[in-house]
Amino acid sequence: MSRFRTAACALGLSVLLLSSAACGGDSEQASSTTDLGEVKAVAGCGPDAYTDPANLNADRKLARCDAGAPAPQPLAEPTTIRMTSASRSSSLAPVFVGMELGEFQKENLTIEFQVLPFAEAMPQLAQGKVDIAYGGTEAGLFNAVNQGLTIKWVLGNFVEPKAVDLSQPQTGLWARRDIFTNPANPDLSELKGKTLGTAVGPASSISYPMDKALRTHGIRLKDMEMKQLPAADIFTALANGALDTAWLLDPYWLQAADRPDDFVLVGGQTVGEPLGGMYAGRSMLTDKPEVLQAFVRAYIRTVNTYLVGDYNKDQKVLDAIAKGTQQAPATLTRTPSLTFDWEIRQGTGEEEQKVFIEFQTVKYTEIMPEDRYVDRSFYARAVGHTG
């Protein structure tokens, strides 16, 4: 499983979405949060609970409240949220831990979790058959919104602090040293024309960080030959010479890191930017915003209470993640604890779209403004931010 472990293949999405839109998909974009009353200060969530979305500094302090905050505000009636993800990813720890340790129950919420590819979840979001989907900022998301489906990105997922230092092994773009003229000091401009293996292809959210890493060396992702393989097979293809480079997900990069004389990390996730998270459809955005608000509150409280620092060392937290992911604790601890970030950075979607437009994986040519697919109001309200 990977930290982008929810990435779903969106390449064949257009027909599905067009069919959905013709059969009752919402034709209007959802506005910001339906009036939930005045935003009030939240105990335990001070100025550090919200950051400027335009701040992309590598040393940006992540938004945090005190443990236990924001406090529950139980819904009047027990409510079930229908949630989907393409896999049982450990990056869903805030959901799995919150379910197991009672944070959603405190809001009178039950999570009905289903494994469903993100491409299939999007039209169901728009129709109200799914309430919340977890995934990445894939090309399929932008195609769906462009076709008029009501879907908004309402929560981020995680960031990779180590991305500022490629000497630290991590999820990222790995290359065979023997493809470079000077293997000890690789020149990334030599990657032009080389093969690149990914699990999803050019419609994936990871196209953006790969393209960004290459641009600093005068080439683009489109200058490489991209090959799509199952995540579990990519390292084997890299090791046997079938690939020159590969985006290696958790835990597969560990195999490359164990052979530093043969492989080198040449690019990581973009610094300080979550590339995915929670997406809400019309059932939450327009019909039951108070339910979405309760979900966001419980999600943020779970992060603040249980998922700060090296949470894998907390046995009850690790057990909860193991139960949710259906993985053994020993497998989960092979890779470091994630750094969760519920906020959404300004410009991430725009940069993603630039790559998708270049690859023609979106069905339009002008960048879509973020107010069509981002709604920060739910997490801002949860922490009492009024700016």
Question: Is 213 strand, coil or helix?
Answer: helix
Quote the DSSP letter at residue 278: E
Which range among 25-39, 115-129, 131-145, 345-359 shows the weakest confidence by mean pLDDT? 25-39
Taking the domain 13-160+273-382, which CATH number applies? 3.40.190.10
The torsion of the CA quartet 59, 61, 62, 68, rounded to 10 degrees, works out to: 150
How far is the first Cα of the chain from the last one, in angstroms, to the nearest whole number? 38
H or E, element range at 115: strand 109-115
Average pLDDT, stretch 221-240?
94
Across 351-364, average pLDDT: 96
Tokens of 320: 């909860």
Give the model's confidence band at 29: pLDDT under 50 very low, under 70 low, under 90 confident, else very high: very low
Instruction: Indicate the average pLDDT of the chain.
Output: 90
Question: 161-268 — its CATH code?
Answer: 3.40.190.10
In the numeric block, the tokens 């940006």 are attached to: 60
Q: How many whole angstroms separate alpha carbon 264 and alpha carbon 178?
A: 10
pLDDT of residue 6: 37
pLDDT tens track for 263-321: 999 999 888 999 999 999 999 999 999 999 999 999 999 999 999 999 999 999 999 99
- The two three-digit tokens of residue 91, written as one number: 């990056």
pLDDT band at residue 364 using 50, 70 and 90 as cut-offs: very high
Do 37 and 11 form a contact (C-beta atoms < 8 A)? no
Give the residue among 372, 368, 284, 376 at the shortest CA–CA distance from 29.
372
- Whether 21 shows a pLDDT value over 70: the answer reads no
Structure tokens at 225: 């030959």
Q: How far apart are CA 316 and CA 36, in angstroms?
A: 35
Distances (CA, A) of 232 to 2, 7, 238, 315, 347: 10, 14, 11, 28, 32
Residue 34, pLDDT score: 55
Give the model's pLDDT for residue 31. Answer: 40
| pLDDT computed for residue 386 by the predictor | 87
Predicted TM-score (pTM) of the model is: 0.88
Question: Is it the case that residue 11 has pLDDT exceeding 60?
Answer: no
Asked if residue 274 has a cis previous peptide bond (ω within 30° of 0), the answer is no
Looking at the chain, the whole-number percentage of residues with pLDDT higher than 90 is 80
Q: Using CA atoms, how far apart are residues 105 and 108, in angstroms rounded to an integer?
A: 5
Asked if 13-160+273-382 and 161-268 have one fold, the answer is: yes
Contact partners, residue 133, CB within 8 Å, separation at least 6: 83, 84, 85, 116, 118, 121, 122, 125, 278, 279, 281
3-state secondary structure labels for all residues of 324-384? HHCCCHHHHCCCCCCEECCCCCCCHHHHHHHHHHHHCCCCCCCCCCHHHCECCHHHHHHCC
Q: pLDDT tens digits, residue range 63-87?
A: 999 999 999 999 999 999 999 999 9
DSSP class per residue in 129-189: S-SEEEEE--HHHHHHHHTT--EEEEEE-EE-GGGG-TTS--SEEEEEGGGSSSTTS--GG
The ranges assigned to domains in the chain are 13-160+273-382, 161-268
